[in-house]
Structure 1
């Protein structure tokens, strides 16, 4: 079994250490050897060993992008001005009008974008793949091809995602069913009141498909205020009734950022049923708050992860595949300025997302920074910086990326 020894790294910016890993996880964390020690001076039994000089870099759990749309990306292609209108449906239909005229097919665009994400330190990814009457399974199959191309470099989950609703067009439930039979890991939903305008039917279909295939659920919930809390309550109701605690995620969950009555009760329901949340670090306003209460989620033990969302697609020009930059944006939109809080944002971008994907991992909390101790998964990234906070502020591109105990990218390039 191949092992990797990361020499002279600083777990979460702490004391220099040598860290031995293999595909089963982190095997040993020991004080760093003296600088004069030969690189071949490895722990006993570490045959087939690759030794990597961490050069005093900060060792973190690898980044986890748990809300991305690889099917719509235009990263690496000529820039196109955003032609979408202001509403969510305008953006949905703008993508529908333009995706076939992209310079590359979905599979090529998704594969390239996933490459750049991995090279910048993400080894856990949850991508939504649009399934609808217009594109059929073509977008899903493109994301499936990207996952296969990088199967030895990252763990990728795919959500069969009905972005244009489930019951506005014929045949969408059958397409979702086919995607789940062909490799999708979760079934998605979107704004059951605003899109389908039939929340009961929409969510009944989502939960029935999840039960039929034994998969998880990830629902986009942009609906704000009382409407969003109503939809969230329907999700809670079904999660409880069907015994799906720990199997459901809600993306965006803007209603939980509002000040309307019922938010605290909704948070308690989410915590009770272990419903995970994902955010893209949006910046709202006093009248339309969008930023989740990260500190309160942590206090309640709610799993929360971070994602890039679209990347230079037909919705917006934002996104570059760098989850360290997205951690910076999370800290910024949360109004963080002290080091502990900024490290919280970094923790959400790394271990928080890992915990969204794997609920068995321990939760973010006040008991230190997880993910770099013996027994943790060997999903790691070495970044440059004096401290974790300075790493978030400076975002130097030099990184070493480890997946399943093996270096898969270094210096911004895949191996």
Structure 2
């Protein structure tokens, strides 16, 4: 079916009519009076009144933990302990007693994400000797429930590490045998305390099953640099350019300027991407990363789960948070955050897709681009990020899948 979006403003620009067909944008022209409801070929057509709203590429959440979400359930007291291991044990103690199953919770959260404008997702699913494949299978069920509303990639993620508990590597491999799209890793030094063995397992499985790698890196400063350098070495040795993502990278922003720039240049040379959740504290150097051509995406992390009470399934909210924690005020930089949240993330998911070339780049709305789109209210893109109003229409593969924060 052909869909025409009338009176929309791509990236907040001049009013335009945008035609969608076959899952891509097929025409973009200045807004003109409404035509008939059929195409020139006699094919069925649908027309949507954009009412002057801003047209953006839909959001890409490249770092979310759907297996632990409590979106849609009552708030509960935070019971987590400090540190990754302590928080993991708290989650392990509580997740089975949730009011509904992993599959139901993940399906609810994913639906809320889609309704708010996200149609491209990379989610973690914890696999360990405690959960086995139960959480992984719950996330697969959520993906299947929304298979016509969003494209979802699932990361088999060893949240408890790979070396602290016997059998961890085996359950990780079992998830890959069952079709996990990405293999995860986490804090090779501080959690498993044997970075060589940890990364050997992760990259070995990636090579064996032909999947990308996504590694949580919470490690601080020079320890984070050391782990990042080991990841760089393996990426180069295995020829995995474009197939490796470092999530968080908390300590990298604390590096001396020279070390940081050298590492960014290495990421660019090997096409290693980064995923951030816009945390408090020292932000990722988005401008440096963009200037070097490093792909960067945004994600919501845990959503009101046993790790944290934060999260509301809204990537437009997380875009505001990225701008705020980056201390951005200029319109160009706030709009860059929207570009990171949409096209930036899409390029993390697919390194062959269009990527951001600078902080001023606003791709994703040209003829031939995928019809993954969201209409948002606002006089400018910055205004839309600041206000985060509910009048949204979400389009996946050229078809409306949500409107007014409700699934269609």
User: What is the TM-score normalised by the length of structure 2?
Assistant: 0.98
Shift of 1:46: 6.5
Following superposition, the deviation at residue 48 of structure 1 comes to: 1.9
What's the offset of the Cα at 1:364? 1.1
Answer whether contact 2:2 2:39 (CA < 8 A) is retained. no
Partner residue in 2 for 1:79: 75
Q: Distance in 2 between matches of 1:23 and 1:293?
A: 38
Q: Which residue of 2 aligns with 1:351?
A: 343
Which deviates further from its counterpart, 400-409 or 358-367? 358-367
Alignment partner, residue 128 of structure 2: 132
Partner secondary structure for residue 305 of structure 1: strand
The corresponding residue for 1:150 is 146
Paired residue total: 406
Q: Which residue number in structure 2 is paired with residue 196 of structure 1? A: 192
Kindly indicate whether residue 207 of structure 2 is the aligned counterpart of residue 211 of structure 1. Answer: yes
Runs of 5+ unmatched residues, structure 2: none
> Does the 8 A contact of 1:21 with 1:378 survive in 2?
yes
Moved over 3 A (4+): none
1:368 shift after superposition: 3.5
Higher mean alpha-carbon deviation, 69-78 vs 167-176, is at 167-176
State the distance in 1 between where 2:42 and 2:298 align.
Answer: 35
Alignment correspondent of 2:405: 412
Picking from 298, 302, 309, the partner of 2:294 is 302
Number of the residue aligned with 1:384: 377
Gaps of 5+ in 1: none
Q: Distance in 2 between matches of 1:208 and 1:23?
A: 38
Within 5 Å, give how 1:321-336 maps onto structure 2.
Answer: 321-336=313-328
Partners in 2 of 1:46 and 1:376 — Cα distance? Answer: 24
In the aligned structure 1, how far is the partner of 2:133 from the partner of 2:111? 22
C-alpha distance in 2 between matches for 1:46 and 1:359: 37
Q: Give the superposition deviation at 1:215.
A: 0.3
2:232 pairs with one of 225, 236, 240:
236
| 2:268 corresponds to 1:271 | yes
2:11 corresponds to 1:15: no
Q: Once the 2 structures are TM-superposed, how far is the Cα of residue 86 of structure 1 from its aligned partner?
A: 2.3
- Tell me the distance in 1 between the aligned counterparts of 2:116 and 2:324: 20
How far is the alpha carbon of 1:39 from its aligned partner? 4.9
SS of residue paired to 1:201 = helix
On the 8 A contact 2:39/2:45 being kept in 1, the answer is no
Q: Which residue does the alignment assign to 1:5? A: 4
Within the candidate set 40, 46, 60, 1:44 is matched to 40
Shift of 1:43: 4.9
CA contact (8 A) 1:64 1:124 kept: yes
Q: Does 1:397 align with 2:401?
A: no
Change (3 A) 1:259 1:100: same
- Residue pair 1:61, 1:372 contacting (<8 A) in 2 also: yes
Q: Please give the alpha-carbon distance, in whole angstroms, between the structure 2 residues aligned to 1:308 and 1:365.
A: 24
CA distance in 2, matches of 1:39, 1:85: 61
SS at match of 1:226: helix
Residues 310 and 295 of structure 1: is their aligned pair in 2 closer, same or farther, counting only changes over 3 Å?
same
Query: What's the offset of the Cα at 1:167?
Result: 1.3
